Amino acid sequence: MKLPTDPIENLATLIRCPSVTPAEGGALTALQAMLAPMGFASDRPVFSEDGTPDVENLYARLSGNGPHLMFAGHTDVVPVGDEAEWTHPPFSAAIANGQMYGRGTVDMKGGIACFVAAVARHIEKNGKLKGSVSLVITGDEEGPSINGTDKLLKWAVDRGETWDAAIVGEPSNPDAIGDMIKIGRRGSISGTITIHGVQGHSAYPHLADNPLRSLVSLLDALLVPPLDAGTRDFQPSNLEPTTIDVGNPTVNVTPSKATASFNIRFNDTWTAESLQAEIHNRLDRAARRTKYRKGRKEPVSFDVVWRDRPSHVFLTRDDRLVNTLTKSVESVVGRRPALSTSGGTSDARFIKDYCPVVEFGLVGKTMHMVDERVDIADLETLTQIYERFLVDWFG
């Protein structure tokens, strides 16, 4: 029985599955077929919630005596954009000049392909693992992340599952394999401010109340002073306005309402709750600075709506997991990876509540881009690192 020891072949199979969120696209079926010859038992739970698409997920477990390692990731990918701009069709897995092209090559079907190959090689050489391995694979990481990893973990726990450590195979390396292990992430929270005014003629501002004037003041209060200067483990928190909208097609009419949305990436200076309180305090102070409307002094009228669920900041302090992976990387590439908390969010934000978790995968330079691609040599290097980690972790 042939085992899936070749990461290039594994990845090509996955890339040829057009699994744009939330479509399964055949990717989970292909992955389940790869895992079956190694003895993995697989489940394919589908989760639902009002207002969101149903999402199919995969939980595959290879049971043994010893520690339980989770490998987590996603087979869903972002849309390809204008397919005509691609050098090679985005789901063809074409290889040219030592690179494989395709949507999801680095984010993150490549990481999955390499881990599967690493487990297969370990089994081929050693017969079995000295412990258990589970793959927690969702089709909802690039989407709303509601019917994916969060629910899949709860589903597994309800069936008695526990884990000792987890690796998320997201593309963690900025330039070369071995550059960086992600040991934490800043939190993320988003909101929308709505300023209420009075529509009027732009030539007679005293008869109206232009909400854009107030919106500028409130946004300035959110941006200055900075939220913090960073901490030992995290870069500074940053608030970024992401959209301003008044829905006004006319240049000589001031609008009756203006909205601004923003996203904050925050470090361990804050919790989501304390940060929300700080934002409300800043807005309240700015709103109390009076304004003139129709000859009277009145405070700014505004609302804040917090959007989606916040992602909480976390830092993995588990020495065994971090040190073992660090040594495995160093033994393969000959240099010590940096330990970082940079970047956006990932499904590690859910996994942290169940076991220590780190992120290590391919180079992320082309993720989400036209002509997303991976160096063939990097697939082999990452597979060797994962294989060495399995030996070091279970050994």
Domains of the chain: 7-185+313-394 (3.40.630.10), 187-311 (3.30.70.360)
- Positions annotated as catalytic residues are 76, 141
Query: Strands (DSSP E) along 157-204, which ranges?
Result: 165-168, 180-182, 184-185, 187-196, 200-201
368 assigned to a ligand binding site: yes
CB-facing half-sphere around the CA of 49: CA atoms within 13 A: 10
pTM value is: 0.90
CB-facing half-sphere around the CA of 286: CA atoms within 13 A: 23
359 assigned to a ligand binding site: no
* Residue 36 φ/ψ, nearest 5 degrees: -55, -45
Ranked by mean pLDDT, the top range of 21-35, 188-202, 278-292 is 21-35
Q: pLDDT for 100-152, tens place per residue?
A: 999 999 999 999 999 999 999 999 999 889 999 999 999 999 999 999 999 99
280 assigned to a ligand binding site: no
107 assigned to a ligand binding site: yes
206 pLDDT tier (thresholds 50, 70, 90): confident
